[in-house]
Amino acid sequence: ADNAIYPGLFLMYLLPSDGDGEDARLLQRAVSIVALNAALVYLNYRGLGAVEKFASAAAVFVVAPFVIMCAAGLPRVEVGRLLVPASRMACPDTAACPPDAGSYVEDVDWAALLNNLFWNLSAFDTASSFAGDVADPGRTWPRAMCLAVTLTSLVYL
């Protein structure tokens, strides 16, 4: 069900609505959704090789901004702050801290965090459906899953 939503969400970014000419934008959006879906159906019709090339290019396109922003921010990382406990980060000068200052751990919206973690870490179990398509699934699949879980977890650090 999610895959059917993605073209519409993508087009919401490309075709913003400001209220004026809503009928024309609605028609433009409908035509764009049909064209995008037709392109994806054609890509699927072309076969696994074409889908693989498109998926690889799309993955690079999606991950590139993240890699660029991480590389740009790397010089600004203060390594010493990584070892500071969260309770000290909220109020570094404990003598001047009010008693109700709290800490970052107390201010975490745990429901939103856990929901986000669940959303991003779900569906790893469905990858086993494709294990039969891999040349050496006994070796490749566990390595790929460990790499995927590690990379996903590192994003949250």
As a whole number of angstroms, the distance between CA 58 and CA 55 comes to 5
The DSSP output letter for 15 is S
Residue 64: predicted pLDDT = 92
* Sign of CA pseudo-dihedral 45, 47, 53, 56: positive
Backbone angles phi, psi at 40, to 5 degrees: -70, -35
* pTM of this structure: 0.46
Residue 152 and residue 121 in contact, taking contact as beta carbons nearer than 8 Å: yes
Is pLDDT above 90 for 52?
no
Is pLDDT above 80 for 140?
yes
As a whole number of angstroms, the distance between CA 7 and CA 28 comes to 14
> Comparing 146 with 103, which gets the higher pLDDT?
146
Is pLDDT above 80 for 122?
no
pLDDT-above-90 percentage for the chain: 5
